[in-house]
Structures are given as structure tokens and as C-alpha cells.
Amino acid sequence: MKVNKVTSERSIGGKIFNNFILIILVMSIGFIFSLYEKKITAKNYDDYTNINIKLSTLSLEFSNSWGYFDMFIKTKDDSNIQKYNDSNNKIKNLLIEIQPYIEKDENSSIYLRNLNNMYDIYKTESYHLMGKVINLERLDPRSYDKLTEIKTLFTYITKHSESLLVSYMHYSNNEYSTSVQKYNNTEREIYIALIFIILVSFVFTMMVSRDLNNTIGKLRSYAELLTEAKWGIPDLKDQKYEELNSLAKAFDKMKYSIREFIKELNEKAQIENSYNAEKLKNTQKDKLIKETQLSALQSQMDPHFLFNTLNTIGRVAMFEDADQTVKLIEATSKILRYNLDCKDKMVELKEEIRMVKAYVIIQETRFQDQMSFIFNIDETLDTVKVPPMLIQPIVENAIIHGLREKDKGGIIHITVVNDKNNFISISINDNGVGMDNKKIDIILSEVKNKSTGLGVFNVKKRLELYFNRSDLFKIKSERGEGTQVMISIPIDGGEDIDKTFNC
């Protein structure tokens, strides 16, 4: 008994689905068939109309052919021969085009065959006469008789052409009327079948709807009890239909599982909160590590630089007047102030250049004619944010390692431009001793070697930490040809980096 019940439960949904599919299928087939019949009817109408037009054109072209022929006989003008030939070609093409359609009607095909035969005779006789009279000033009696025969033949051609037009028009009208009647009958039958299926479907749907409403009403009352958190309600009994029976079981399952679900939800919320807290902690730790690394790297250059600077000021104070010493002290003060104020934050490019120029004042005093410095700075980039102490270590390295063997004529060229790719291009060039690729690799490596310039590696490492990129620092050099250090800074990246490090 239970097996039969399950079969009945499943058949209701299947019947509804099948009924729906049947309606869609009948409507689709009817629509497609109706559209097809309509398309065929329209095509037949176009074909009939087109052939009738061509038949009218054929009658007109026969008249044109005779006119050009008659005009040539009278005037002997060669231009009429060409017109006559063109007209005959048009007649020939028209006869070929209409033949497949005319042959569908027996009466019209008889007229067409007679018309073709008469037209062939007409062309042969007319061309023969034209060739004969082309050199005659007046027609001789035989030629005149032949012209009369051709004219008579043309009269028969004209009559047959008109008869063909009338015959095919009668045929096309009958055929089109039959096609339209067939289309209307088919469309009416489709509508009748569709209405019948809709009526049967409506009756079936009403019967099923009555049974469903009774069962759904019972389920609704249990659902209302569940919404009031009355979890002690009894389990629902087996329902009549499979779908509703599944719904009833779902209610029972929900009743038993909702408390467990709330409990699990709270546990997951606690786990997620713990995870987010740990994630925030790790983020802050990574940030502190980066800040510590940056501070450590920047602090490495201060003792070495201050030692050289103070040593220079001491020597100048011994051998020169106080004015020059004051100049050096002011330059040193600018450098120290810059180093203290900007040590842990991004700075504007103009501040970095101002500090480098102060450093250059000290070095020019120190080395005098041994070297000179040239600045080429794009002032439109003054407000762009860059890491501090970026250029000075490179200049210092160029002085110590690049120009150390030059007694005079040493040049350090500092250029800052916009490379049009949303990057600042900073270039420090010297005409010093240069170096080979092996030496460059040592400078760019993390091996600590004072003789290779700790400041250069410091700058490279800070660029990587600030911008998370390793392609912003490059060195080009050859022995005896000098050295070029190229630094690229993203124009739009400085302010974001500044916010990241809370400066």
C-alpha cells in the first residue's frame, strides 16, 4: 500500500510538469508551423508578383525590340542595331528567368513555348533582313514583303505575350488564394487544439490545487507554532504527497536542529573573533618589524657620515677664516636637522635635494678643485614624497670610491626628472674610476663589506622595504668610464607609504 502511495505522490508532480510541457510544446509547434505557413505564403506572393512584373516587362521589351528594328529599317542608323541587340538580350534573360515558374501552369507553359518559337523565328528573320537592307537606300519588293511578314509575326508575339500574362495572373491568383485559405485553416485548427488543452489543464489544476490547499493549511498551522519558539509540538504525520511529506520532515528536522545550530553559530562567532584578533596582532607585528628594519638601516649611516663631516669642519677651522667655518657649520646643521626630523617618515623631494646641496657645500670645501657637482632638478616634482637620505649616500659613495684617484676634474652629476611613466627617475653620475660587474654584484648583495659602500646597499634595501619592489635601484659602470646609479620612485606611492608607517 505504501508503494502505491509513493507512486501516486510522484505522479501528481509529473502530471503537472507533463501538462505544462504539453502546452508549451503545442504552442511552440503551432507557432512554428503557423510561422512557416505564413512565410511560404508570403514567398509565393512575392514570386507571383515578381513573375507578373517580369511578364509585363517582357511585353514592353518586345515592343522596344520592334521599335529599334523598325527604326533601323527606316534610318539605317547603326546605333539602333546596338539598341536592338540589347533589347533582345533582355528578352532572352527574361524568358530564361520566368520559364521555371511558368512551367508549373499547363496553360501558361503552352503560351510560353509558342512565344519562344515565334520569337526565335522573329530574331532570325529580322537579323537576316537587317543584313540585307543595310546598304539599300530603299526597300525592294521582296524585302518589303519580308518586313510585312516580320511585322505580322511581331503582332502574334505581342498577342501571345499578353495572353501569357493573363493566363499566369489567373493561375497565380488561384494558387495564392488556395495558399491563404490553407494557412487560415491551419491557424484555426491550432487555436482550437490549444484552447482544448488549456481547458483540460485548467480542470486538472483545480483538482490538484484543492488537495494541495488542504495539506498546506495543516503545514501552515505547524509553521506558526514554530515561529513562536514552541519546540515541543508533536512530529507531523506522513502527508499525502511526496513533496509535502518532505516539507513536513524538514519542519521536524528544523525543530530538533535549530538549537544546535544557534549553539554552533555562537561557537563559530567566538572562533572568528579570535582569528581576527590574531590576524590584527600579526599585522601590527609585521608593521613594527618593518619600522624597526627601516630605523636600523637608516641609523647605520649616521656615525660614519657625522665623523667625516666633523673631521672636515675641524680641518677648515684650523686653516681658514671663521666665515667659511660658519658656512660649513650651517650646512652641517641643515643635515643634522634633516636627519633628526625626517628619519622615520617620507619627505618631499625638495627637502631631500636641499639636504644634498648642504652636503655638497661641505664636500666642495673639503675637496675644492678636485671635484665639482652639477644639479639638474625638475622643480615640478618638488612635492613628491620620497624616502629620506636617498641621494646623499650615493653621492658620498661616488666621492669616496669613484673620485678618490682624481687630483682634479672630478664631476658628479645629479639629475631628477619625470620619466613619463608615473615614476621619478633619479640619476647620480660620476666620471671616476668605475668598477666591473663583480664589484657591482658585491655592492648589491647583503654581504657587509665596508670597502664596497654600506650606504649604497642601505639605500637599495630601504627602497625594497618601502615599496615592496626590487627593480627600483640599478647600477651601470665600467672600469675607467665612471659610474651611474639610477633610482626610480613611484610618484603616487609615497603618500600611501607615509600613511603605512604612521609618519
Closest C-alpha to 221, from 211, 233, 210, 232: 233
In order of their start, the domains of the chain are: 19-190 (1.20.120.1730), 281-500 (3.30.565.10)
Which pLDDT does position 284 carry in this prediction? 53
Which pLDDT does position 456 carry in this prediction? 84
Which pLDDT does position 11 carry in this prediction? 54
CB 313 within 8 A of CB 325: yes
Strand-by-strand arrangement of the 410-418 sheet = 371-377, 410-418, 423-430, 482-490, 473-478
Which pLDDT does position 134 carry in this prediction? 75
* 62/54 Cα distance (integer angstroms): 12
What pTM value is reported for the model? 0.42
Which pLDDT does position 288 carry in this prediction? 43
CB 389 within 8 A of CB 295: no
Q: Which three cell numbers stand for residue 161?
A: 505575350
DSSP 471: S
CB 293 within 8 A of CB 465: yes
* 161/142 Cα distance (integer angstroms): 29
Which pLDDT does position 43 carry in this prediction? 82
CA atoms 182, 184, 189, 191: torsion sign: positive
Q: Name 486's bridge partners.
A: 427, 474
* 282/288 Cα distance (integer angstroms): 10
Which pLDDT does position 466 carry in this prediction? 82
Q: pLDDT (tens digit, 0 to 9) for every residue of the chain, 503 residues total?
A: 343 444 445 556 666 777 778 778 877 887 787 787 778 888 878 888 888 898 889 888 888 889 888 888 888 888 888 888 898 899 889 888 888 988 888 888 888 898 889 888 988 888 888 888 777 767 778 888 888 888 898 898 888 888 888 888 898 888 888 888 877 888 788 888 878 888 887 777 777 677 677 667 766 776 777 677 666 677 766 766 676 667 667 766 776 776 666 567 767 878 888 787 777 655 654 554 455 445 545 554 555 566 566 667 666 666 666 667 777 777 787 787 777 676 667 889 999 999 999 999 988 888 888 889 999 999 898 889 988 888 989 998 888 888 877 888 899 999 999 987 889 999 999 998 888 888 888 887 765 555 555 578 888 888 888 888 888 899 999 888 889 999 999 987 656 666 555 44
Q: Which residues, including other chains, have CB under 8 Å from residue 57's CB and lie 6 or more apart? A: 94
Which pLDDT does position 470 carry in this prediction? 86
* 209/201 Cα distance (integer angstroms): 12
Closest C-alpha to 487, from 435, 419, 420: 419
CB 377 within 8 A of CB 435: no
Which pLDDT does position 41 carry in this prediction? 80
Which pLDDT does position 308 carry in this prediction? 64
Q: If 0-12 CB within 10 Å is exposed, 13-18 middle and 19+ buried, where does residue 62 land?
A: buried
* 276/31 Cα distance (integer angstroms): 61
Which pLDDT does position 416 carry in this prediction? 94
Which pLDDT does position 77 carry in this prediction? 81
Ranges of H-type helices in 320-421: 322-341, 349-367, 392-397
Secondary structure of residue 488 in the 3-state scheme: strand
CB 387 within 8 A of CB 348: no
How many other CB atoms are found less than 10 A from the CB of residue 60? 13
Which pLDDT does position 171 carry in this prediction? 87
**Residue type at 415 in one-letter notation:** T
Q: Which residues, including other chains, have CB under 8 Å from residue 1's CB and lie 6 or more apart? A: none
CB 432 within 8 A of CB 483: yes
